[in-house]
Amino acid sequence: MTRQPAPDRPPVALTVAGSDSGGGAGIQADLKTFEACGAFGTSAVTNVTAQHTRGVESTHQVPTSEISAQMDAVLDDFDVRAVKTGMLGTDEVVELVGEYAPDLRNLVVDPVMVAASGDRLLERDAERAYEDVLAEATLVTPNADEAAVLTDVTPETGDDAQRAGEQLVEMGADAALVTGGHIGAETEDVIDVLVTAETVETFRHERVEGTATHGSGCTLSGVIAARLAHGDDLGTAVASGVDLLTRAVRYPLDVGEGPGSVHHLVETRERAARQPTAEAVEGIVEAFVDRDVGPLVPEVGMNVVGATPYAERAAETAAVEGRITRTLSGVQPNRGVRFGASSHVARFLVTCREFDADLRFAVNCRFDDEVAAAFDALAGPVVEFDRGEEPPAVKESEGSTQQWGARRAFERADSTPVAVADRGEVGKEAIVKLLAADAETLVDRAFTLLDALE
């Protein structure tokens, strides 16, 4: 008996852009991003570039007749739900895309003009030709440099970005997302501004130190196009793009001799790491039960938390639901391990990862003078923070103490601490949290502390 096929039916997205031989940007980045977002990627190559992480060596324009043939082939066969443009290169290619633009659904225009390395990717004569394409765009996604070319505004602040976006909407685009990676590079936050005829929405996220931003614009616009192909509204699609790009820059791909590339598949990798992470937490819990770590269990109960290698929020950590408690026959977990089961320890661990992304596991333990005397057995720095120094605004914000305490500890430490102690206050139990990059090390540190106590 033969097996019957069970076809998947993803929405189809089309990218009209240049090829990046280095794989980090252009068509290659778009197709990776489409796939990561659950869309089937098709393409029309406009230019072939000899490119790597350090720059662009050469470019070769594909004849417009061949670009047109590629687009016709895709559009005639597929139900294309969204189209994004990238490197178009010349005024002839821009004009060609402008001819197709009125009939394209969910057109996202990434006006690629200059590579992250500084190499120019668009002829100056082609800048004026963009007007017809922009007039049909669902969204245009310029960075500050590109917005300055397309409008008479040079964005240096969020207000400037809004004015540039408003001008792009006046030129005919349904919406403009002026991205803020190049705006106020000395500030801690990156501000992206989404402008429509009726609304202005700001997306704010923390700036990531580092220069591995190759492919960032392609990836952002690629996510948005893929989400529009799925039927998301524009605001939701843009929010998804900003979130993925933030993580893709935080966890870049260390490839090539240059700065590297953004991680197009980072959210896919995060999801794939969840099962192994949960199994690692279960292994730690089993070791703690077998050894009976009762002397380390605080009154509030113990929790073991494991973060995926790409975790950015508490929901991306696995923990014991209901914590580990002492019983007459030793310690036992109340329930099983699931993602999002921890609040305090998870927020603490995620914040520690801001300083050292290798940290993936944490456990909260009892803390008193006896435990403090045993810290000498731990091979590494132990840091304390004093809740008396906690700003009133932090105290008033529910759940913020853990983040503040983690940042305070790392500010005081010369290197990554193996443990962070909190002496508590009235109504708040004193706790020490052990940290580790892997499950085995966390178990070893807990057992070392237990051996010192015994």
Distance between CA atoms of residues 60 and 174, nearest Å: 32
Last residue of a domain, one of 265, 288, 318: 265
- Dihedral, CA atoms, 205, 206, 212, 216, nearest 10 degrees? 10
Structure tokens at 129: 């030709």
In a shared domain, residues 282 and 174: no
In a shared domain, residues 176 and 90: yes
Structure tokens at 101: 């633009």
In a domain? residue 396: yes
Determine the straight-line distance between the first and last CA of the chain, rounded to whole angstroms.
Answer: 65
In a shared domain, residues 259 and 356: no
In a domain? residue 2: no
Total count of residues recorded for the chain: 454
Q: What is the pLDDT of residue 100?
A: 96
In a shared domain, residues 46 and 66: yes
Q: How many helices (H) and strands (E) does the chain have?
A: 15, 18
In a shared domain, residues 80 and 106: yes
Q: What is the pLDDT of residue 447?
A: 96
Last residue of a domain, one of 232, 265, 298: 265
- Answer for the pair 66, 95: CB distance below 8 angstroms, yes or no: no
Closest by CA to 292, choosing from 446, 432, 433, is 446
In a shared domain, residues 442 and 370: yes
Give the list of residues 6+ apart from residue 52 with CB closer than 8 angstroms, or none.
21, 22, 256, 257, 258
In a shared domain, residues 176 and 57: yes
Q: Where are the alpha helices (DSSP H) in 2-90?
A: 26-36, 64-77
Q: For residue 173, what is the domain's CATH number?
A: 3.40.1190.20
In a shared domain, residues 257 and 295: no
In a shared domain, residues 75 and 189: yes
Distance between CA atoms of residues 436 and 362, nearest Å: 6
In a domain? residue 6: no
Q: What is the pLDDT of residue 349?
A: 96
**SS3 readout for 55-66:** EEEEEEECCHHH
CA neighbours closer than 13 Å in the CB half-sphere of residue 446: 31
Structure tokens at 447: 């057992």
Q: What is the pLDDT of residue 280?
A: 98
pLDDT per residue, tens digit, the chain (454 aa), is 889 999 999 999 999 999 999 999 999 999 999 999 999 999 999 999 999 888 889 989 999 999 999 999 999 999 999 999 999 988 899 999 999 999 999 999 999 876 555 555 566 666 677 888 999 999 999 998 888 888 888 888 888 899 999 999 999 999 999 987 656 555 677 889 999 999 999 988 888 877 778 889 999 999 999 999 999 999 999 999 999 999 999 999 999 888 889 999 999 999 999 999 999 999 999 999 999 999 999 999 999 999 999 999 999 999 999 999 999 889 999 999 999 998 889 999 999 999 999 999 999 999 999 998 999 899 889 998 877 777 777 666 666 778 888 898 898 888 999 999 988 776 788 899 999 999 999 999 999 999 998 8
In a shared domain, residues 345 and 278: yes
In a domain? residue 4: no
In a domain? residue 3: no
Q: For residue 291, what is the domain's CATH number?
A: 3.40.225.10
Structure tokens at 121: 């990717």
In a domain? residue 189: yes
In a domain? residue 235: yes
Distance between CA atoms of residues 309 and 172, nearest Å: 42
Q: What angle do CA 49, 50, 55 make, to 5 degrees?
A: 100
Structure tokens at 213: 């931003």
Distance between CA atoms of residues 36 and 366, nearest Å: 43
Closest by CA to 428, choosing from 404, 395, 403, 453, is 395
Closest by CA to 51, choosing from 218, 226, 225, is 218
In a shared domain, residues 281 and 259: no
In a domain? residue 427: yes
- Domain of residue 417: give its range: 273-453
In a shared domain, residues 286 and 252: no
- Answer for the pair 203, 239: CB distance below 8 angstroms, yes or no: yes
Furthest-apart CA atoms within the chain: distance in Å: 81
How many structural domains is the chain composed of?
2
Q: What is the pLDDT of residue 183?
A: 62
Last residue of a domain, one of 265, 281, 306: 265
